[in-house]
Structure 1
Amino acid sequence: MHQPMMEALAAGELRPLREWLAGLQVETERLVVLPQWDVHPVPDHPPRGRRSVDRTEAAAAEILRQWEKAAIAPGGVPFLLLFVLTAVEAEWNISYDFEPLWETLEAAARCLRERGARLDASDQLSGRAVVALMESVAAQIQAENAMVTGQLDAQEAALNAAVVKAGEAGELARQAASGHPDLSHYLLVRIAEIDDVCGVAVARAVRGVQEFLATGEPLDQAIAQIEVAEAGAHVTDYGYLSELRAHRLALLSLAERKDDQWLRVEHGKIVYLYPFAVRGVPPEEVLDAVATQSAYWALGGTRPVSVNSSLNLDDVWNGSDAFKRRYGGALVELPDVLISSSDGCLLERVRAEIRFSRLGNHYVRFSREIADAGPAVLYAATLRAAPEYGSTRVAFSGGSAQWRRLSELSLDLAEDVCERLGDAEGRAGSRALASPGMFHVVVAVNAATTTRGPAGETRQEVHTAAGLQGVMGAQLLTNPVTHLIGSIAEWARYTPTSDLTTTMTGLTGEQIVRTSNTTAIIAPGMADFTHNSRGHIVEFVASLDGLFTGWSLELVDHYQRVEAFRARVDTAERDQRGSSQALRALAHELDAERVRLNDFATSVRSTITFIRSPSLVSSPVVADVLRRVLDGSTFHQRVAELNAMIEEVAKDQLGTSIAKLARQREEQETQEEERREGRQRAKLEVFLAVIAAAGVSGVVQVLQAGFFQSRDAAMWAAGSVSAIFIAALGLGYLFWPRGRR
């Protein structure tokens, strides 16, 4: 009965199942959005960055609303649950936000527990089989979360749990075969794939990698089991096959280099930076508020441990700028942050602080020491900065608020800072300009050794950065933090061709290697305090992303205001009744905006020049290192893009508006001048007509009286007439229309 629908679903086509449910009036579109990370059916969703509220209740309520419609048909509820499972798996393919997936699956299981007893026996068994498969998928998602967070032991445990739940689903599906044979067959095929992929192959591969890294145990058996699963008949889904292949290739990369030299970081430091800009409050006022009031601020649900009116920079930053400018600021130290697994196991403890700059390049900073770390440990540590990092428990020591990732905590801290600044300065419009993906990881290697294989007992000291050429694990220092992880120990396949080549070289064999979101300071022969100088340079350059973000948004404000002016100019152009006085007022506003844009451009270019200037620091050697780090970053590209945007707004947008407004003013003033001249001409014509009427008769009378009385009277009459003509000419000249400049 349902065989075509199940065959289509097995081939990846969901439409027949969706149409069948729609025939029962099930609103499938409301079910599809339940596991989606960017759709929030829960009202009053908290701001970005905060731990989202548990949506299990809302998802369960929605599933129950559709449940009643599906329950009228035999098999309706099991197929409804299967549709929910398919929607979750589709979202799982594109999202690292696992909570909505788990919450939707749990909501479906809760609905079956509450309403399952009302179903007939066949639907109960089939529904329980689907829910058991859901629980197996939830465990698989947990396994991926453990892989993304670098917890191999937790990954293996989750995979084993997935196999157990798959076994339960298989037994229930066999029992339900008499009532719903097509659904039962589909479930059994899916469960067999999970058994082979999770139970036999991947779980064993995870165990093999753990043993290989700990003792050097060969990976041959783990690789062979994955090859058997790939070649077997059970796994037909291409998605599963691609995962098996990715795992196999990662294990082969490890096995091929089992006798090579492997990196061991004896001592170092890792720093996670999250730049942000404060909109609406100038940097000087930010520093004043931080210095005087931040000790009492609530940031991330906690209070600062200390407030320092300095960034604790070494004196190399005391430059020789002609305008007496220098880089500096203030910092707010917060309690330590604890990063734990979902079961409460502590993964990492990091120091937390917020650094404020007088240039405006503020950033949230987390840091920790590294000791005796191999490549796998270093890899897991670098991943923790990314917004795609798996779901964990992130909380301040002694605090109750929780986040899933450091990136989310950093966003909340930046937003809390802006809220406090707005309260302090009375500016409701202040807000943070940041994004989860705007992060940078700094890895400083202070001391390093190499061992033969991953677990070699003899360690050879590394004297310079060049000593890491070709060492297994060194590729972690030359590759960025990835946003996608698709296999166990994926770092083993990172390309080694760029090992320590794109670098900024120092004086004692150290090298600074920069990627799109990481910087490695490899200086095993340097004292710790000299490392700090290099670290400050690297952090300074990385934090400039926040500064450019603030500038770009400020320029967007200018652009929007100019666009509003253009609309008003267009309206004035269409409205012929507008006066030149109104156009002059609009021109004054437009001129003021041009002045603001010019001031902004001048300030931006002055700051950029200062950043580029050798006078920013006191040492020519440090200035050269800073220049090299800037060259290796996107700084020059960002500067060029910003200048192009300024020119576009100033010339194309603002210039066009000013030219159009000037033309309109000229046309409007010409029209007003013509109207004014017409009125003057009309007055003159009336005046002259009156003069003419009265003057002609008067002249005739004067002449008659003079010429017929005496010679003197005639002379007087002629003089009077001449005076009248002269007066008329004078009045004509006085009232004659003249043009205005």
Structure 2
Amino acid sequence: MMEALAAGELRPLREWLAGLQVETDRLVVLPQWDVHPVPDQPSPGRRSVDRTEAAIAEILRQWEKAAIAPGGVPFLLLFVLTAVEAEWNISYHFEPLWETLEAAAQCVRERGARLEAADQVAGRAVVALMESVAAQIHAENAMVTGQLEAQQAALDAAVVKAREAGELARRAADGLPDISRYLLARIAEIDDVCGVAVARAVRGVREFLATGEPLDEAIAQIEVAEDGGHVTDFGYLSEIRAHRLALVSLAERKDDPWLRVDHGKIVYLYPFAVRGVPPQEVLDAVATRCADWALGGTRPVSVNSSLNLDDVWHGSDAFERRYGGALVELPDVLVSSVDGRPLDQVRAEIRFSRLGNHYVRFSREIVDASPADLYAAMLRAAPEYGAARVAFRDGRSARWRRLSELALNLAEDVCECLGDTGGRDGSRALASPGMFHVVVAVNAASTTLGPAGDARQEVRTAAGLQGVMGTQLLTNPVTHLIGSIVEWARYTRASDLTTTITGLTGEQIVRTSNTTAIIAPGMPEFAHNGRGHVVEFVASLDGLFTGWSLELVDHYQRVEAFRARVDTAERNPGGSSQALRALARELDAERTRLNDFAMSVRSTITLIRSPSLVSSPVVADVLRMVLDGSTFHQRTTELNAMIEEVAKDQLGSSIAKLARQREEQETREEEQREGRQRAKLEVFLAVIAGAGMSGVVQVLQAGFFQSRDAAIWATGSVSAIGIAALALGYFFWPRGRR
């Protein structure tokens, strides 16, 4: 069982614990962010939920079952630790991991004294290793948030705790030798080799970036850890190798020019759409009622009925359509580390557009930023940023873990306020934490020789940044996965600033999947702002397309329901044509709605593409090129294809099938009506015939019994009546239908 555990295989340990009636499934879910901390309860989604108390209760419930066997509790704790590490491999939601480990440690503090001596020592050893793992998670959290100092401190703490675990494991060797050997193997692997080497690497990187101190010693220590034969697990080896290659990349460029952003701006955009409320109604509600809305637990600082765009957005559209809207300013947002150290302060706004491309916007200035500073700032937008403390500066709001969580919360609050203050019921925000965009504007830049050089060389055009260390941050997207210290040092540099969008007065705009860099050192700030409006406009279109796509899904679902009803009508030919006509009217109404939606979408897309959206041909050209560099055209093509599929293939086929059914049903009903009418006529004629026959008989009787002339007259009259009846019968005899 211990050999399997050392190889990362949990099944034998799980089966052993199951033999003690331990419900391992309830322990596995404790560190999972998307599962409620109390099993059998609904999932909390991405909300931050403190699960420490629930985890303590669950571990203690299983504790009583495991405690009946020697080594049961230490094995139970090892199972919890392994479950946490398994979740750590796939998640950046670190809080559930810390809370589960803390819960296990609390259980040992509360119940550990009741265990046998060997189990007590082994349990404390496992807890010390848990504390080491918790510190390692803190180190990774610091790495993905760009905090090298905090990363080094956490690694040092992890080493101390791992050594404590090793000492306790040696003391447990007599009573529980298998657990002792396993723990000591873990310590030798993580502490003596990996932990010390990575901590030294982080310290070396800090010294290199601050003073230019060579990285040779740090690289050598990592090489010893990698090649010394003490670490055999490929996962650990791959992590060490990634750190080494990052340090080598830094060392190779220690004498190159390094980027310094003397002044600039960084903007984090989170687009969203409001479902169920037209954009103009949203703007009307914002203008009249937004000042009293509670957004993220705070109140707006100001509400502006304009987006404060420059005059170039006063276009020449024939229908007087233009980009504009309203701006809601919120208190500044503070970003701090999990232990409360300030990291950043950003300005917060929500921008509402008359086209529907709304977005939450955070921004701040960049002053004298090194590549490491810029890297940390760009990471802050991602939902994988790691755990931090995000709160409005006024202190009246709740705290979030990331800017992306706050942005999503603000979008949801907008829709809730729209419903509460007279908006349409059922309005919902269409947003995603991963649907973000980072805009970096470089107003002034310089280069230094090496990372800590004193002399600076001014950068006058974007071309002056070719080959400069740190420029690769402007040409690569914000990654969702960080695997090594200063990973940005290894970003691709072969195409630095070659994918340009425009180049006026040395300006270049570079766009990736989630970033846009505006590099224009020779451009005044007001001109930078104009370029920024163009870039932000294009980035915010993601929310617009999301709203359109989900509205089209609504149409698709309704059409599918109609298809099911049409198919049911086809299988039930006894239905009335009146019911089919009512269904046809519903289908026509849905076709009208879909046509109106398609016309609105295509009209908006045409406006966005049109040079008349802006008043300047130069800005129109810039907008066109930024659109070309984005996914706008691809998404437009996909959306049009989806509209055509729903309108023609789905809705059109249902309408054609229903029309055929209506014709067949109306034919059957017409034949039934003719049959009933013919039956009535035949009865009526039979009655008339009976009456007529009696009259004929009377005529004949009267004629034959009066005289010979009267008999001839009676016979002729009867013959004439018979001939007339035959003629009329032939004329009115029913013919077959074509």
Same fold (TM over 0.5): yes
User: Take 2:21 and 2:497, find their aligned partners in 1: how far apart are those partners?
Assistant: 61
User: What is the aligned partner in structure 1 of residue 256 from structure 2?
Assistant: 260
Cα displacement (A) at 1:40: 1.3
Q: In the alignment, is the contact (CA less than 8 A) between 1:353 and 1:365 conserved in 2? A: yes
In terms of mean alpha carbon deviation, does 662-671 or 595-604 score higher? 662-671
User: What is the aligned partner in structure 2 of residue 227 from structure 1?
Assistant: 223
Cα displacement (A) at 1:451: 1.1
Q: For 2:421, what is the secondary structure of its paired residue?
A: helix
Q: In the alignment, is the contact (CA less than 8 A) between 1:385 and 1:439 conserved in 2? A: yes
Q: 1:92-111 residue pairs with structure 2 within 5 A? A: 92-111=88-107
User: What is the aligned partner in structure 2 of residue 192 from structure 1?
Assistant: 188
Unaligned runs of 5+ in 1: none
Which of 36, 50, 53 in structure 1 is aligned with 2:49?
Answer: 53
Q: In the alignment, is the contact (CA less than 8 A) between 2:56 and 2:103 conserved in 1? A: yes
Q: 1:709-728 residue pairs with structure 2 within 5 A? A: 709-711=707-709, 714-715=712-713, 718-719=716-717, 722-723=720-721, 726=724
Q: For 2:672, what is the secondary structure of its paired residue?
A: helix
Q: In the alignment, is the contact (CA less than 8 A) between 1:353 and 1:366 conserved in 2? A: yes
In terms of mean alpha carbon deviation, does 186-195 or 667-676 score higher? 667-676
Which of 499, 521, 526 in structure 1 is aligned with 2:518?
Answer: 521
Structure 2 residue 337 is matched with structure 1 residue 341: yes
User: What is the aligned partner in structure 1 of residue 33 from structure 2?
Assistant: 37
Cα displacement (A) at 1:468: 0.7
User: What is the aligned partner in structure 1 of residue 595 from structure 2?
Assistant: 598
Q: Which amino acid letter does the alignment assign opposite residue 474 of structure 2?
A: L
User: What is the aligned partner in structure 1 of residue 19 from structure 2?
Assistant: 23
Which of 359, 377, 381 in structure 1 is aligned with 2:373?
Answer: 377
User: What is the aligned partner in structure 1 of residue 307 from structure 2?
Assistant: 311
Which of 508, 521, 535 in structure 2 is aligned with 1:538?
Answer: 535
Which of 489, 492, 514 in structure 1 is aligned with 2:489?
Answer: 492
Structure 2 residue 503 is matched with structure 1 residue 506: yes
User: Take 1:541 and 1:252, find their aligned partners in 2: how far apart are those partners?
Assistant: 38
User: What is the aligned partner in structure 2 of residue 288 from structure 1?
Assistant: 284
List per-residue Cα deviations over 1:354-393 (Å, max 9, x = no partner).
0000000000000000010111100000000000001000
Unaligned runs of 5+ in 2: none
User: What is the aligned partner in structure 2 of residue 332 from structure 1?
Assistant: 328
CA RMSD across the alignment: 1.9
Cα displacement (A) at 1:568: 1.3
List per-residue Cα deviations over 1:386-409 (Å, max 9, x = no partner).
000010000000224100000000
User: What is the aligned partner in structure 1 of residue 211 from structure 2?
Assistant: 215
**What's the % identity of the aligned pairs?**
84
Q: Which amino acid letter does the alignment assign opposite residue 587 of structure 2?
A: L
Q: In the alignment, is the contact (CA less than 8 A) between 1:197 and 1:240 conserved in 2? A: no
User: Take 1:109 and 1:166, find their aligned partners in 2: how far apart are those partners?
Assistant: 15
List per-residue Cα deviations over 1:285-314 (Å, max 9, x = no partner).
100110111011100000000000000000
List per-residue Cα deviations over 1:181-236 (Å, max 9, x = no partner).
01100000101122134542000100100110111100000000000111123222
User: Take 1:205 and 1:64, find their aligned partners in 2: how far apart are those partners?
Assistant: 40
In terms of mean alpha carbon deviation, does 414-423 or 723-732 score higher? 723-732
Structure 2 residue 548 is matched with structure 1 residue 551: yes
In terms of mean alpha carbon deviation, does 21-30 or 242-251 score higher? 21-30
Q: Which amino acid letter does the alignment assign opposite residue 439 of structure 2?
A: V
Which of 391, 402, 405 in structure 1 is aligned with 2:402?
Answer: 405
User: What is the aligned partner in structure 2 of residue 247 from structure 1?
Assistant: 243
Q: For 2:335, what is the secondary structure of its paired residue?
A: strand
Q: Which amino acid letter does the alignment assign opposite residue 423 of structure 1?
A: D
User: Take 2:651 and 2:142, find their aligned partners in 1: how far apart are those partners?
Assistant: 53
Which of 6, 14, 19 in structure 1 is aligned with 2:2?
Answer: 6
Change (3 A) 1:586 1:177: same
User: Take 1:622 and 1:664, find their aligned partners in 2: how far apart are those partners?
Assistant: 56
Cα displacement (A) at 1:61: 0.9
Which of 665, 674, 679 in structure 1 is aligned with 2:676?
Answer: 679
Structure 2 residue 155 is matched with structure 1 residue 162: no
Q: Which amino acid letter does the alignment assign opposite residue 232 of structure 1?
A: G
Q: Which amino acid letter does the alignment assign opposite residue 59 of structure 1?
A: A
Q: For 1:504, what is the secondary structure of its paired residue?
A: coil
User: Take 1:417 and 1:398, find their aligned partners in 2: how far apart are those partners?
Assistant: 20
User: Take 1:297 and 1:738, find their aligned partners in 2: how far apart are those partners?
Assistant: 74
User: What is the aligned partner in structure 2 of residue 627 from structure 1?
Assistant: 624
Aligned residues between the structures: 735
Cα displacement (A) at 1:335: 0.2
List per-residue Cα deviations over 1:662-709 (Å, max 9, x = no partner).
122122222222222222232333334444444445435434544663
Q: Which amino acid letter does the alignment assign opposite residue 720 of structure 2?
A: S
In terms of mean alpha carbon deviation, does 676-685 or 412-421 score higher? 676-685
User: What is the aligned partner in structure 2 of residue 668 from structure 1?
Assistant: 665
User: What is the aligned partner in structure 2 of residue 353 from structure 1?
Assistant: 349
Q: In the alignment, is the contact (CA less than 8 A) between 1:189 and 1:234 conserved in 2? A: no
User: Take 1:306 and 1:130, find their aligned partners in 2: how far apart are those partners?
Assistant: 54
Cα displacement (A) at 1:507: 1.7
List per-residue Cα deviations over 1:605-646 (Å, max 9, x = no partner).
000000000000000000000000000000000000100110
User: Take 1:9 and 1:59, find their aligned partners in 2: how far apart are those partners?
Assistant: 23
List per-residue Cα deviations over 1:258-282 (Å, max 9, x = no partner).
1111111000000000000001111
Q: In the alignment, is the contact (CA less than 8 A) between 1:250 and 1:489 conserved in 2? A: yes
Change (3 A) 1:46 1:79: closer
Which of 57, 63, 69 in structure 2 is aligned with 1:67?
Answer: 63
User: What is the aligned partner in structure 1 of residue 437 from structure 2?
Assistant: 440
In terms of mean alpha carbon deviation, does 206-215 or 231-240 score higher? 231-240
User: What is the aligned partner in structure 1 of residue 428 from structure 2?
Assistant: 431
In terms of mean alpha carbon deviation, does 130-139 or 228-237 score higher? 228-237
User: What is the aligned partner in structure 2 of residue 459 from structure 1?
Assistant: 456
Cα displacement (A) at 1:711: 3.7
In terms of mean alpha carbon deviation, does 370-379 or 681-690 score higher? 681-690
Q: Which amino acid letter does the alignment assign opposite residue 520 of structure 2?
A: A
Q: For 1:505, what is the secondary structure of its paired residue?
A: coil
Which of 73, 76, 88 in structure 1 is aligned with 2:72?
Answer: 76
User: What is the aligned partner in structure 1 of residue 179 from structure 2?
Assistant: 183
Q: In the alignment, is the contact (CA less than 8 A) between 1:684 and 1:732 conserved in 2? A: no
Q: For 1:503, what is the secondary structure of its paired residue?
A: coil
Q: 1:580-619 residue pairs with structure 2 within 5 A? A: 580-619=577-616
Which of 270, 291, 298 in structure 1 is aligned with 2:294?
Answer: 298
User: Take 1:297 and 1:435, find their aligned partners in 2: how far apart are those partners?
Assistant: 22
Q: In the alignment, is the contact (CA less than 8 A) between 2:94 and 2:137 conserved in 1? A: yes
Structure 2 residue 120 is matched with structure 1 residue 112: no
User: What is the aligned partner in structure 1 of residue 131 from structure 2?
Assistant: 135
Q: Which amino acid letter does the alignment assign opposite residue 118 of structure 2?
A: S
Q: 1:261-276 residue pairs with structure 2 within 5 A? A: 261-276=257-272
Q: In the alignment, is the contact (CA less than 8 A) between 1:270 and 1:367 conserved in 2? A: yes
Cα displacement (A) at 1:721: 5.1
Cα displacement (A) at 1:719: 4.4
Q: Which amino acid letter does the alignment assign opposite residue 276 of structure 2?
A: G
Q: For 2:105, what is the secondary structure of its paired residue?
A: helix
Q: Which amino acid letter does the alignment assign opposite residue 438 of structure 2?
A: V
Change (3 A) 1:47 1:410: farther
Q: In the alignment, is the contact (CA less than 8 A) between 2:145 and 2:376 conserved in 1? A: yes
Q: In the alignment, is the contact (CA less than 8 A) between 2:35 and 2:44 conserved in 1? A: no
Which of 125, 147, 152 in structure 2 is aligned with 1:151?
Answer: 147
Cα displacement (A) at 1:506: 2.7
Q: In the alignment, is the contact (CA less than 8 A) between 1:81 and 1:127 conserved in 2? A: yes
Q: TM-score, normalised by structure 1?
A: 0.96
Q: Which amino acid letter does the alignment assign opposite residue 188 of structure 2?
A: A
Q: For 2:274, what is the secondary structure of its paired residue?
A: strand
Q: In the alignment, is the contact (CA less than 8 A) between 2:194 and 2:225 conserved in 1? A: no
User: Take 2:735 and 2:576, find their aligned partners in 1: how far apart are those partners?
Assistant: 21
Change (3 A) 1:335 1:729: farther
In terms of mean alpha carbon deviation, does 596-605 or 703-712 score higher? 703-712
Cα displacement (A) at 1:591: 0.6
User: Take 2:101 and 2:44, find their aligned partners in 1: how far apart are those partners?
Assistant: 25
